[in-house]
């Protein structure tokens, strides 16, 4: 499917809705991961573990910022996107929920980081 912008005639309202839902799920996952990793930083006393968590959090923050820039660029029509399928959106929503569940269960930083990174990678697939 060709890449589209909001005003491209081939971008239906449904395609734009799916893109917005994909963005929201990705933002939720990255935001939850960022907050959880920050909390782990405050609780960690091991210097090596702390350094690892800080590096992971910063990478998540970078992905969050890039995600936001892409979304704003899409709506400013300076970036196109490949309309995601409903299955792609559903996958992002499920993975975002998994990040939240992992954080609630006090999972390891690596587990949260891995799932959040997977969400960001899947969102990158629909960017133009």
Nearest to 25 by CA among 108, 128, 126: 126
Would you give the end-to-end CA distance of the chain in angstroms? 11
What residues make up the domain containing 40? 13-124
Residue 53 domain flag: yes
* Segment holding 74, helix H or strand E: helix 47-75
What's the chain's average pLDDT?
Answer: 91
Give residue 28's pLDDT: 97
- Assign 80 a pLDDT band (cuts: 50, 70, 90): confident
| Residue 52 resides in a domain | yes
Please tell me the chain's helix, strand, coil percentages from 3-state DSSP, rounded to the nearest 5.
Answer: 75, 0, 25
Q: Do the domain assignments include residue 77?
A: yes
Q: How many domains does the chain have?
A: 1
Question: Which residues share a beta bridge with 127?
Answer: 81
- pLDDT, tens digit (0-9, with 9 covering 90-100), for 32-43: 999 999 999 999
Tens digit of pLDDT for each residue in 81-98?
A: 788 999 999 999 999 999
Answer yes or no: is 2 within a domain: no
| DSSP code string of 24-64 | HHHHHHHHHHHHHHHHHHHH---HHHHHHHHHHHHHHHHHH
Asked if residue 62 is part of any domain, the answer here is yes
The answer to whether residue 30 is domain-embedded is yes
Indicate yes or no: pTM above 0.85. Answer: yes
128 in Cβ contact with 79 (< 8 Å): yes
């Amino acid at each position: 499917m060709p890449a589209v912008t909001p005003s491209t005639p081939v971008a239906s309202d449904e395609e734009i809705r799916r893109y917005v839902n994909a963005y929201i799920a990705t933002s939720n996952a990255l935001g939850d991961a960022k907050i959880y990793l920050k909390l782990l930083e405050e609780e960690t006393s091991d210097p090596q573990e702390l350094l690892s968590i800080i590096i992971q959090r910063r990478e998540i923050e970078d992905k969050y910022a890039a995600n936001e820039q892409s979304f704003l660029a899409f709506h400013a029509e300076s970036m196109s996107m490949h309309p995601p399928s409903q299955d792609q959106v559903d996958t992002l929503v499920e993975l975002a929920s998994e990040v939240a569940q992992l954080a609630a269960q006090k999972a390891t930083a690596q587990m949260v980081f891995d799932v959040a990174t997977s969400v960001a990678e899947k969102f990158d697939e629909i960017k133009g």
